[in-house]
Chain A
Amino acid sequence: MLGTLLDRNPKIANWLYGFKPPERGVVVLVHRRVYIVPARLGVLFGATLIVLLLGSINYALSLGFALTFLLGGTALAGMVHTARNLARIGVSAARAAPVFAGEAAQFRLVLDGRVPYDRPAILVRHLGSRVQTVVDVPRLGEAEAVLPVPAKRRGWLPLGRVMLETRFPLGLFRAWSYVELDARCLVYPRPERTPLPAPVADAAAGSAQARAQGNEDFASLRNYQRSDSPRHVAWKAVARSQKMLTKQFSGEAASELWLDWAALPAGLDVEARLSRLAGWVLLAERTGALYGLRLPGVELSPGQGESHSGACLRALALWEGA
């Protein structure tokens, strides 16, 4: 009930949780942001204490009292220790590599211990998708929690609210905190696996189809240059000669292919078009063709290589209509 209330009134939630999302940089979970309640095991422990106390009173056992009170003190100390296990931890998000819709965005959260003691058993949970993982933060060190959040739709996928929880050391208390980091992952459209178009060839380019075929013919090896795609490195030859070599394909430079929104069948809806274009970008990149992308309002001139395909896919991911 409280959950729905907070979902509808982000202002109350922000006030309650003590921060205003999204947060930049390293977020330090100060004590004010760490909440703590007894876990179910703690309630059971409390019941145990009550029975021990009643027994001690009834049998007038002084040492029974002593044990009961020592356990009570243990619960108190355990509470402080549990809060300490989470408090003042630094949380930041590392860059998440783009993924395709339908895959999982690999959000990486860096937990910086910042104290000269270790912080074991910290649960990191993505509240939106319920993806979770448990990490141990070493003494004066960092731990990385990878959250594979399912990416359903293209566009920017914000990380959203993440909960950190711990029950260490006694398991009697549950301390938790929320962070909402300024982290996002680019989600490309889900690529449709269709053969490259019988393209609307430019007058100058001739038949891209034919040239694309020709591109797969291996021609020769040359010395590796930094801009070469790793896909074209002749790894077998590298293994033999210890020298970086790149495979060259015939007619590589000559091919020019336009992947054009307007050339798609009229019946396709927007997302299907983007999916098909994304598939084509991948395929074209693999064949080594020079390809350009035309969307309503966007035009990327023909190019090749990872940065080009990335730019094309990015344009597809973020396209919002002309």
Chain B
Amino acid sequence: MAALPHPLAPEQRLVGPRDLAWLLAGLAFVMAPHFARAPWWLTGLTLCLYGWRVYITLDRAPLPSRWLLVGVALVGMFGVWMEGRTLFGRSAGVMLLMLFSGLKLLETRTHRDAAVAVFLGYFLIVTNFLTSQSIPVAAAMTVGLFMLTASLVGLSAPQRALRANLRTAALVLMHAAPAALVLFLLFPRVQGPLWGLPQDAHSGVSGLSDSMSPGNFSQLVLSDAIAFRAAFEGEPPPHRELYWRGPVLWEFDGRTWKTGWGLTTQHRMPEGGATRYRYTVVLEPHQRDWLFALESAAALPERARFSPDGTILASAPVRTRMRYELTSFAVNQIESDDDPVTLRRATRTPPQSNPRSRELAQQWRAGGASPEQILASAIQHLRTGRYTYTLEPPLLGEHSVDDFLFRTREGFCEHFTSAFVFLMRAAGVPARVVMGYQGGEANTVDRIVTVRQSDAHAWAEVFIAGRGWLRVDPTALSNPRRIDAGLARALPDTEPLPFLTRTDLEWLRGMRHRWEAVVHRWNVWVLGYNSERQRDLLSFVGIPDADWRALTAALFTILGVITTGLLAWSLRRFARPDPVQAAWRAFCRKLAAQGLERAPHEGPRDYSTRAARALPASRRAILRIGVLYIRLRYGNETPPGRVGELRRLVKELRFT
């Protein structure tokens, strides 16, 4: 049995040029985004392999020998290894996939090889999602999926017209959509990762880091990338109150601020405030465990906790888009009963660093000034010191605070904040640096506040006995417009900024708002769909507390319904457009019931004659039906009324 050649077996059907061309086009299409990202030599090599296959097809040249392909594969793999010193991990995997798709095409001879290449194409589609899952990418990859599926159809029916094959592919994909939707909604989601993610799994993600040194904010704010979105219940707060608190920095080495560790105090939530805000945050993955909250959070999201200095920490680094609900009070001070040890850490400065600033701070402190008075002096200094807010501050030397305060007088938020906190500490007032985001843009369409990396900000908190930690934004003191109106208005027009942050194109802004509303829904409902949303959905339709068993049961039930629907579609009866034929069939059925089955070879004349002889009672009608049928079916013209007569005769035919 096995040795029998099978004309439909994919191993034995050669691929024609047309189907090969489709396959090549589909693969090139889904690979196009990688071409721009991959090293130039790999892009070149892959394109060469594709071109080689085209040449072979056009020229009917033989396929290259296996050894040659193995050689090319080894060279390519060596090149990939040279790029990252590994053959594993995300980017190496993508590179190898590109290489192998070209090599597979060069040994593609049969339907089976081509189908394997199509499957490789499916993998290539998924690798694109590692970089971006935006709506345009999804749309493009849908086109790619269609092309690959169409080539699969073409492989199965090489003789068929291309248009018909495209239609079939579209139909199959259309029929696949309901099942896909149900699977997407109900397939029990497992929270990854299943195995250790390779080192490079999250490369290229920008966001706040856990330290601050001059220059890293001005790099970050050039990015248009979205940090998170917040949907408020009711009116969003005014711009000046949008302080999104992130990590707190304690340790200063004269240039860089770092997070504190080993803090022992307990963070206290505010009990009330001017206004209470309830909102939902959709946080983009940033690979750190802190979450951002409007100052100051009055409740914790699920499975999150406060660090001693009041940062909200998730149970694990945020590797996927995360959604959490929060309540905050609009307050600018946090009550605290910090112990003296902690407070002493908040006054530590590296000895010998920034002597001029230290001298200035000592002056404020002289004469036994209270912390409030020292704070007032510092604020006064920043206000009147003619400091310039700029994205491109000059480079600072070893004593960065001195350089900024007395020499360059130009800086970005990290310069102002760093200098201010240093001054306060040098004057003996406990102070710390807070990183986060300030502001955000409220969408006029869905009122969702979008916070971008360009809103990244740093400010200070000063401890005043009896009041707790008080928020001071040194940048705002020297340049109030930054806080009231956002970065774009605070900076001179000559500064480089992300294109869309500029405000002069109002209609463009409107369109962007609409688009971002769509993107937000996409992020929440498509990209952010997870096991929690699944539970929400099921409790919404009346199945509370659904576990994976309930999900699976629901999934299979609905899939069964869908399959039944598809089967019913495939079983549709198609009405015969020909009434003559229908009448004749009815006639044959009636006679067959009388034991007079029409033999396959029997024509209408013979059959009706035989039947008339067997059923003399209905002889006239039977003969008339035979004559009418022959005339209507085989005659040149259709006399009016005859079809009706035939149908009536057949209908009225009765046997006793």
Task: Produce 1/0 per residue, B123-146, CB < 8 A to A.
Answer: 101100110010001100100010
How long is the Cα–Cα vector from A80 to B597 in the complex, in angstroms?
A: 34
How long is the Cα–Cα vector from A83 to B600 in the complex, in angstroms?
A: 27
Do B152 and A171 touch (CB < 8 A)? yes
CB proximity to B under 8 Å, residues A157-183 = 165-171, 174
The answer to the question of B72 belonging to the interface, with a C-beta cut-off of 8 Å to chain A, is: no
In the complex, residue of chain A having the shortest beta-carbon distance to the beta carbon of B120:
A48
Do B192 and A57 touch (CB < 8 A)? yes
Do A48 and B119 touch (CB < 8 A)? yes
Do B190 and A118 touch (CB < 8 A)? no
A238 CB to nearest B CB, Å: 31
Which among B177-185, B362-370, B627-635 touches the partner chain? B177-185
The answer to the question of B499 belonging to the interface, with a C-beta cut-off of 8 Å to chain A, is: no
The answer to the question of B156 belonging to the interface, with a C-beta cut-off of 8 Å to chain A, is: yes
Q: Which residues of B contact A54 (CB under 8 A)?
A: 194
Q: Select which of B116, B156, B180, B526 is within 8 A of A169 by beta carbon.
A: B156
Q: Which residues of B contact A130 (CB under 8 A)?
A: 4
A254 CB to nearest B CB, Å: 39
Task: Produce 1/0 per residue, A106-144, CB < 8 A to B.
Answer: 000000001110101101000000101110100000000
Task: Produce 1/0 per residue, A66-80, CB < 8 A to B.
Answer: 110111111111101
The answer to the question of B542 belonging to the interface, with a C-beta cut-off of 8 Å to chain A, is: no
Do B566 and A76 touch (CB < 8 A)? yes
Q: Which residues of B contact A84 (CB under 8 A)?
A: 570
Q: Select which of B6, B112, B192 is within 8 A of A58 by beta carbon.
A: B192
Which among B165-173, B244-252, B394-402, B645-653 touches the partner chain? B165-173
Q: Which residues of B contact A52 (CB under 8 A)?
A: 122-123, 126
The answer to the question of B98 belonging to the interface, with a C-beta cut-off of 8 Å to chain A, is: no
B170 CB to nearest A CB, Å: 11
Q: Which residues of B contact A170 (CB under 8 A)?
A: 149, 152-153, 156, 172
A115 CB to nearest B CB, Å: 6
Do B175 and A169 touch (CB < 8 A)? no
Q: Which residues of B contact A286 (CB under 8 A)?
A: none
The answer to the question of B164 belonging to the interface, with a C-beta cut-off of 8 Å to chain A, is: yes
The answer to the question of A205 belonging to the interface, with a C-beta cut-off of 8 Å to chain B, is: no
Do B156 and A121 touch (CB < 8 A)? yes
How long is the Cα–Cα vector from A60 to B529 in the complex, in angstroms?
A: 10
The answer to the question of A97 belonging to the interface, with a C-beta cut-off of 8 Å to chain B, is: no
Answer whether A134 and B173 are a contact pair too, CB < 8 Å, given A56-B126, A168-B156. no
Q: Which residues of B contact A169 (CB under 8 A)?
A: 152-153, 156-157, 165, 168-169, 172
Do A167 and B156 touch (CB < 8 A)? yes
Task: Produce 1/0 per residue, B607-647, CB < 8 A to A.
Answer: 00000000000000000000000000000000000000000
In the complex, residue of chain A having the shortest beta-carbon distance to the beta carbon of B153:
A169
The answer to the question of A35 belonging to the interface, with a C-beta cut-off of 8 Å to chain B, is: no
Q: Which of B112, B126, B526 has its CB near the most chain A CB atoms (within 10 A)?
A: B126
How long is the Cα–Cα vector from A100 to B491 in the complex, in angstroms?
A: 100
The answer to the question of A15 belonging to the interface, with a C-beta cut-off of 8 Å to chain B, is: no
B359 CB to nearest A CB, Å: 53
Q: Select which of B145, B165, B566 is within 8 A of A80 by beta carbon.
A: B566
How long is the Cα–Cα vector from A116 to B578 in the complex, in angstroms?
A: 13
Do B173 and A60 touch (CB < 8 A)? no
Do A73 and B528 touch (CB < 8 A)? no
Do B601 and A95 touch (CB < 8 A)? yes
The answer to the question of A298 belonging to the interface, with a C-beta cut-off of 8 Å to chain B, is: no
Q: Which residues of B contact A41 (CB under 8 A)?
A: 10, 112, 115
Do A69 and B187 touch (CB < 8 A)? yes
B186 CB to nearest A CB, Å: 10
CB proximity to A under 8 Å, residues B146-167 = 149, 152-153, 155-157, 159-160, 164-165
Q: Select which of B112, B126, B149, B528 is within 8 A of A55 by beta carbon.
A: B126
How long is the Cα–Cα vector from A70 to B6 in the complex, in angstroms?
A: 30
Do A73 and B179 touch (CB < 8 A)? yes
Q: Which residues of B contact A220 (CB under 8 A)?
A: none
Count the A residues whose beta carbon is within 8 Å of the partner chain — how many?
A: 65
Answer whether A59 and B177 are a contact pair too, CB < 8 Å, given A84-B570, A169-B169, A171-B152. no
In the complex, residue of chain A having the shortest beta-carbon distance to the beta carbon of B319:
A60
Do A123 and B157 touch (CB < 8 A)? no
Q: Which residues of A contact B168 (CB under 8 A)?
A: 81, 169
Q: Which residues of B contact A74 (CB under 8 A)?
A: 149, 172-173, 176
Task: Produce 1/0 per residue, B513-546, CB < 8 A to A.
Answer: 0000000000000111100000000000000000
How long is the Cα–Cα vector from A31 to B571 in the complex, in angstroms?
A: 8
Q: Which residues of A contact B179 (CB under 8 A)?
A: 69, 72-73, 76-77
How long is the Cα–Cα vector from A165 to B6 in the complex, in angstroms?
A: 10
How long is the Cα–Cα vector from A31 to B201 in the complex, in angstroms?
A: 49
Do B600 and A118 touch (CB < 8 A)? no
A110 CB to nearest B CB, Å: 10
How long is the Cα–Cα vector from A80 to B191 in the complex, in angstroms?
A: 33
The answer to the question of B67 belonging to the interface, with a C-beta cut-off of 8 Å to chain A, is: no
The answer to the question of B567 belonging to the interface, with a C-beta cut-off of 8 Å to chain A, is: yes
The answer to the question of B445 belonging to the interface, with a C-beta cut-off of 8 Å to chain A, is: no
| Contact surface of B with A, Cβ cutoff 8 Å | 1, 4, 6-8, 10, 90, 111-112, 115-116, 119, 122-123, 125-126, 129-130, 133, 137-138, 141, 145, 149, 152-153, 155-157, 159-160, 164-165, 168-169, 171-173, 175-181, 183-184, 187, 189-195, 197, 201, 319-320, 526-529, 559, 562-563, 566-567, 569-571, 574, 597-601
19 pairs of residues in contact across A and B, judged by CB atoms under 8 Å: A40-B10, A52-B123, A59-B130, A62-B527, A63-B133, A63-B526, A69-B180, A69-B184, A71-B176, A73-B177, A73-B179, A76-B176, A76-B559, A76-B566, A78-B172, A120-B160, A169-B153, A169-B157, A170-B172
The 9 closest A-B pairs by CB, nearest first: A73-B176, A73-B179, A77-B175, A69-B183, A84-B570, A73-B180, A120-B157, A60-B320, A70-B180
| Contact surface of A with B, Cβ cutoff 8 Å | 3, 24-26, 31, 39-41, 44-45, 48, 51-52, 54-67, 69-78, 80-81, 83-84, 87-88, 92, 95, 114-116, 118, 120-121, 123, 130, 132-134, 136, 165-171, 174
> Given A31-B567, A72-B176, A120-B160, 16 other A-B contacts at CB below 8 A?
A24-B599, A44-B115, A59-B90, A59-B193, A63-B141, A65-B184, A66-B526, A69-B181, A69-B184, A73-B177, A73-B178, A73-B183, A80-B569, A84-B570, A168-B153, A171-B155
